Amino acid sequence: MPGNTPPRSDWNKQVAASVFENAFATWQWDWIDIPAVIRGAEAIYEFPMVDRDPLPNWTSGRVTLLGDAAHPMYPVGSNGASQAILDARCLADHLAAGTDGNPCAALTAYDAIRRPLTAAVVTANRQNGPEQVMQLAEERAPKGFSHIHDVVSQQELVAIADRYKQLAGFDRTQLAPR
């Protein structure tokens, strides 16, 4: 919502329905009536979608960060969970490899590999990540459409998905050798 952005750390602030009702006043379809849902809610909480700028490092000596502690990001495409899984695998691989019996070297290697990769995902998610298809549809057909291929070709959909899979580390060629 534009203006009056809540504090970045306030995730559980209860608010009046008036905070949201105007923005969603026209969101009514035969299968759901969002204004009625808002009016009928016992409590409404503001849940801002926030992320954090990438950190300069995750590791200090024998301590390192992983998942949301290392790279909180917009909840786009389940990236918080999936990036944490990729972090854990990378960290486990480096610890298992032994890095000359020095766990600190393994943590540093993990940090050097995963930090730039997740920073790229955080940045891409600020531009709608894989959900950019919804923005394209809105821009190309603001009055609606019957089928997604009326506004975005199958080739464009595949290209968008493939670019994001590559960026986020979900591409099969990236996952297979790990």
Is this prediction's pTM over 0.85?
Answer: no
pLDDT tens, position by position, 17-49: 988 889 899 999 999 999 999 999 999 887 766
- List the CATH number of the domain containing 99: 3.50.50.60
74 and 24 in one domain?
Answer: no
The answer to whether residues 136 and 157 belong to one domain is yes
Token representation of residue 89: 């695998």
68 and 119 both lie in a single domain: yes
Which residues span the domain enclosing 35? Answer: 13-46
Distance CA 62, CA 102 (A): 10
Query: What does the buried/exposed string (b/e) look like for 68-79 if buried means 16 or more CB atoms within 10 Å of the residue's CB?
Result: eebbebbebbeb
41 and 61 fall within a common domain: no
Whether 57 and 102 share a structural domain: yes
Quote the number of domains for the chain.
3
Mean pLDDT score of the chain, rounded to an integer? 85
11 confidence band (pLDDT: 50, 70, 90): low
What is the arithmetic mean of pLDDT over 95-104?
A: 82
The position carrying tokens 């549809």 is 137
Residues 118 and 155 in one domain: no
29, 63: one domain: no
Q: Which residue has the higher pLDDT, 74 or 148?
A: 148
Domain membership of residue 1 (yes or no) is: no
**Structure token digits, residue 134:** 């919804």
Question: Do 79 and 29 have their domain in common?
Answer: no
